Structure 1
Amino acid sequence: MSQFTNKQVGVKEVPRFDKWVMLSIQHLFAMFGATILVPLLVELPPAVALVSSGLGTLAYLIVTRGQIPAYLGSSFAFIAPLIAAMTVGGPEGAMIGSFVAGIVYGAVALTIRFTGVQWLMNLLPPIVVGPVIMVIGLGLATTAIDMAMFVPGTDAEFSWVHFSTALVTLAITVIAAAFLRGFFGLIPILIGIIGGYTYAAIQGLVDFTGVQEAAWIQVPDFIIPFATYTPQFHWEIVWIMVPIALVTISEHIGDQMVLSKVVEKNFIKKPGLHRSLFGDGVATVISSLLGGPPNTTYGENVGVVSLTRVFSVWVIAGAALFAVAFGFIGKITELIAATPDAVMGGVSILLFGIIASNGMRMLIDNQIDLGIKRNMIIASVILVIGIGGAFIPIGEDVEIAGMALAAIIGVILNMILPGREKDITSGKLFDADEHDRKNHKIV
């Protein structure tokens, strides 16, 4: 909706009220589909995800001193870890894991504040992070297919009705992503879910009982420590969540570089990567204390900022307030909760593939040469260990498994194999600032 403004709106500038409301709603729709998809996939309350997303974004804006126009929503990278954590300790265990992930963000942010970012770049270079991101997407492939093809609650009972619903959802999402432009081109996930939901309702797959019984104003099903449950610490959950938190921190750096380019301000330096990363950590901690999934900055909303040239943090704050309000509208949250698994499966086929493709894109963008044995070894080992589901038991009830194990082994291989100190593309010592200028052209 770039017609709302004929000029750039600055980071601190407040738009006219009617434009402010419409631009905030636009950001709300841009994040809506993805933010509610994550809790639906991991069986957490979508209303809580909306509320925690809004509150987390407001906290992020405060931590970054109102200098970065970024919206935070549910993180896709934590889908598989959350599912694994829930098998160990239920939803409450998943919240403990999310809390620990937020603390890790904060610890890394403080370390960056006093030591710089070079150590993190050396620990998590693209040759490690790229394949781990691919594992995150490909490891969820069977989850998407199961939701798309089979009747929920059965032992792999194939259903043409469910599969056709998934295919219709997928087709609508693909068409929206490939052919729509402007604002609608930024919300293909939401369009796909709405289209698939409509088709599923026609097929009789949607149960509207909960919608009919829900009140218009309704308190979400928060999961609050010492109020709804007593926290119990599990080392296995820590080993599941922490390695993925380190990977998403690397993704966070990339997001800040992209946003810096869009807004033409170097957010890595001011307000500083340590502040933006700490803001992410605070948002994730807030989410864990309410019962929502971990939060992360959203590329969809960066796209809206780029399209409209409206950089105002006041617009982002407005979207956050709308998200919180939506979480308390019972009819809407029950309508979301009634979304059939087949619809989720259809849109997930594309989304999980995109996650994996983004890992490949990271390798390409950073000119990683897989013809070099060192790079081939690291990528190959990460992919097979992560997708194959390898695990290492530690003690009686603790194990390091899947993506977490793949990430740890990837870091170890990167540290011990020869050539780690060299930037493969230039043959010189790797320098974070030079890497930023060369690959992301930060102004």
Structure 2
Amino acid sequence: MSETKPVLHVHERPAWNQWIVLSLQHLFAMFGATILVPILTGLSPSIALIASGLGTLSYLVVTRGQIPAYIGSSFAFIFPLIAAMSFGGAAAVMVGTFSAGVVYGVTSVLIKYFGVGWLMRLLPPIVVGPVIMVIGLGLASTAIDMAMNYDEEAGVYVDSLRHFSVALVTLAITIVTSIFFKGFLRVIPILIGLVGGYLIAFMAGIVDFSPVAAAPWFHVPDFAIPFVTVTPMWSMTIIVIMAPIALVTMAEHIGDQMVLSKIVGKNFLRKPGLHRSLLGDGIASVMASLVGGPPNTTYGENIGVLAITKVFSVFVIGGAAVFAILFGFSGKIEALIASIPGAVMGGVSILLFGIIASAGLRLMIESELDMGDKRNLVIAATILVIGIGGAFLEITEYLEVPAMALAAILGIILHAILPNKTVAYGNGQLFSDLEDETTTIDESTTTL
């Protein structure tokens, strides 16, 4: 692990006034990403904020307060969430989110007792990379429709020039922030893009601020509580839509934990252990499902803030979680979020979805995959065309395998049956590093 001189150590508690400021700063870095997922999928941003706060607090408990990680809405589930919402609304999302959390939990138990090698063999870079690309590219049309103000009922773009102009300015603000800004501001390009784009949209006359003025400061969101306000829709189709994506986000989670360990200077893969970290993610998603929120995961933005501020305190992370819960009960904040025009969301999403797709390509490049090898070409090509093309399997009236899940499943199957598996790992660096980091995982912890 690299040597890092922190401003606040992992278990160091700041003075109360510093605590408030640092926690708010951390939340603001997570805020844009946390609210973007529910807005794009039709869920409640207020509930997503509350689920994010509850998930982070539960994560800190499960990991014994040893990992300074914030939990928020997962971008990988945007497409599955949209599909689940169209299939059965909040009742379907609840079951899908719960199933994703269960996959995390089961995997954490398997890693505890059998190590992590089996997971990396199941999900080599040639499978994970293209699937991540599908997640981003599959949402490209969604970003453009929002940016150009597509009217689904009429089937036409309405006042597209004005809306797309706002979207392009929003995109420009986000890009400039990401590339040219320094320090903490560079970590929050989504939030700055949303704020800047909102101001431009207001001047362009496409923002209705009256609901914000009329909204109360305090309100109770319409929680989707199982068997109380919503009856869960138990369907294999929903489970197939959501659960396989958890395997992909696990690969991202592992990468996040490795980077976080290097930044903080502690080996989190050994202590408290990768199994605890994954279990914390899973419990966070299960908790989100119990209130009607989207699946949660650890955030790359969290890593960026820690790297810049050198504030590693879990008390600051916990404070950010508490503020997220409090903000979720604010009617003003919910109304303000709801008033963000689709053009602004579309402008931010153009960059965001492209970055997600690029992250998959980056994984393949860093793994030094030989794309001249026919085996790799076959697997990547199949995943990309099936996933982006929108292919699906309607097995029965009650069971449908959608494009993204089908692409991931076919990729895993092809990797399992085709010969010469070694080329699927490229330079094998991620795999070997992870094996080194987790060889003594069972020595550091003896109970889940």
Q: TM-score, normalised by structure 1?
A: 0.94
* Residue of structure 1 in register with 2:90 after alignment: 91
Distance 1:323 1:418 in 2: 49
Q: 1:98-137 to 2 correspondence within 5 Å?
A: 98-137=97-136
Other structure's SS at 2:290 match: helix
Distance 1:286 1:424 in 2: 35
Cα 1:191/1:431, change in 2 over 3 Å: closer
Paired AA for residue 260 in structure 1: S
Q: 1:7-18 to 2 correspondence within 5 Å?
A: 7-18=6-17
Paired AA for residue 416 in structure 2: M
Q: Deviations over 1:207-256 (max 9, x none)?
A: 22321221111112211111111112011111111111111111111111
Which deviates further from its counterpart, 276-285 or 368-377?
368-377
Q: Does structure 1 conserve the Cα–Cα contact (< 8 Å) formed by 2:376 and 2:423?
A: no
Deviation at 1:358, TM superposition (A): 0.3
* Residue of structure 1 in register with 2:291 after alignment: 290
Distance 2:325 2:395 in 1: 41
Paired AA for residue 366 in structure 2: D
1:156 aligns with 2:156: yes
Gaps of 5+ in 2: 439-448
Deviation at 1:157, TM superposition (A): 2.0
Distance 2:92 2:110 in 1: 27
Which deviates further from its counterpart, 230-239 or 276-285?
230-239
* Residue of structure 2 in register with 1:239 after alignment: 240
Distance 1:182 1:194 in 2: 18
Q: Does structure 2 conserve the Cα–Cα contact (< 8 Å) formed by 1:386 and 1:405?
A: yes
* Residue of structure 2 in register with 1:375 after alignment: 376
Q: 1:120-269 to 2 correspondence within 5 Å?
A: 120-153=119-152, 154-158=154-158, 159-269=160-270
Q: Deviations over 1:328-349 (max 9, x none)?
A: 1111111111111111111000
Distance 2:6 2:98 in 1: 41
Distance 2:151 2:260 in 1: 40
Deviation at 1:150, TM superposition (A): 2.6
* Residue of structure 2 in register with 1:384 after alignment: 385
* Residue of structure 1 in register with 2:445 after alignment: none
What is the number of residues matched between the two proteins? 432
Distance 2:125 2:276 in 1: 23
Distance 2:42 2:176 in 1: 28
Distance 1:356 1:54 in 2: 28
* Residue of structure 2 in register with 1:440 after alignment: none
Distance 1:179 1:8 in 2: 25
* Residue of structure 2 in register with 1:408 after alignment: 409
Deviation at 1:294, TM superposition (A): 0.7
Distance 1:434 1:218 in 2: 48
Distance 2:266 2:421 in 1: 31
Deviation at 1:423, TM superposition (A): 7.0
Deviation at 1:92, TM superposition (A): 1.6
Deviation at 1:62, TM superposition (A): 0.1
Paired AA for residue 46 in structure 2: A
Q: What do you get for the CA RMSD once the two structures are aligned?
A: 1.8
Paired AA for residue 224 in structure 1: I
Paired AA for residue 403 in structure 2: G
Distance 1:265 1:186 in 2: 22
Gaps of 5+ in 1: 1-5, 438-443
* Residue of structure 2 in register with 1:342 after alignment: 343
Distance 2:320 2:427 in 1: 43
Q: Deviations over 1:132-189 (max 9, x none)?
A: 0000000000000011113444412242111111111111111111111101111110
Q: Deviations over 1:389-415 (max 9, x none)?
A: 111111123211211000000000111
Deviation at 1:425, TM superposition (A): 4.3
Q: Does structure 2 conserve the Cα–Cα contact (< 8 Å) formed by 1:150 and 1:157?
A: yes
Other structure's SS at 2:10 match: coil
Distance 2:8 2:209 in 1: 42
Q: Does structure 2 conserve the Cα–Cα contact (< 8 Å) formed by 1:121 and 1:432?
A: no
1:41 aligns with 2:44: no
Deviation at 1:310, TM superposition (A): 1.3
Which deviates further from its counterpart, 350-359 or 247-256?
247-256
Q: Does structure 1 conserve the Cα–Cα contact (< 8 Å) formed by 2:184 and 2:309?
A: no
Other structure's SS at 2:208 match: coil
Deviation at 1:281, TM superposition (A): 0.4
Deviation at 1:432, TM superposition (A): 5.8
Other structure's SS at 1:290 match: coil
Deviation at 1:435, TM superposition (A): 6.9
Distance 1:81 1:133 in 2: 13
* Residue of structure 2 in register with 1:60 after alignment: 59
Which deviates further from its counterpart, 9-18 or 338-347?
9-18
Q: Deviations over 1:5-29 (max 9, x none)?
A: x853211111222222211111111
Q: Does structure 2 conserve the Cα–Cα contact (< 8 Å) formed by 1:217 and 1:329?
A: yes
Other structure's SS at 2:86 match: helix
Other structure's SS at 1:217 match: coil
Distance 1:231 1:424 in 2: 40
Q: Does structure 1 conserve the Cα–Cα contact (< 8 Å) formed by 2:208 and 2:339?
A: yes
Which deviates further from its counterpart, 406-415 or 154-163?
154-163
Q: Does structure 2 conserve the Cα–Cα contact (< 8 Å) formed by 1:172 and 1:192?
A: yes
Distance 2:163 2:208 in 1: 14
Cα 1:322/1:427, change in 2 over 3 Å: closer
Paired AA for residue 212 in structure 1: A
Deviation at 1:295, TM superposition (A): 0.6
Identity of aligned residues (%): 62
Q: Does structure 2 conserve the Cα–Cα contact (< 8 Å) formed by 1:206 and 1:339?
A: yes
Q: Deviations over 1:23-42 (max 9, x none)?
A: 11111110000100110000
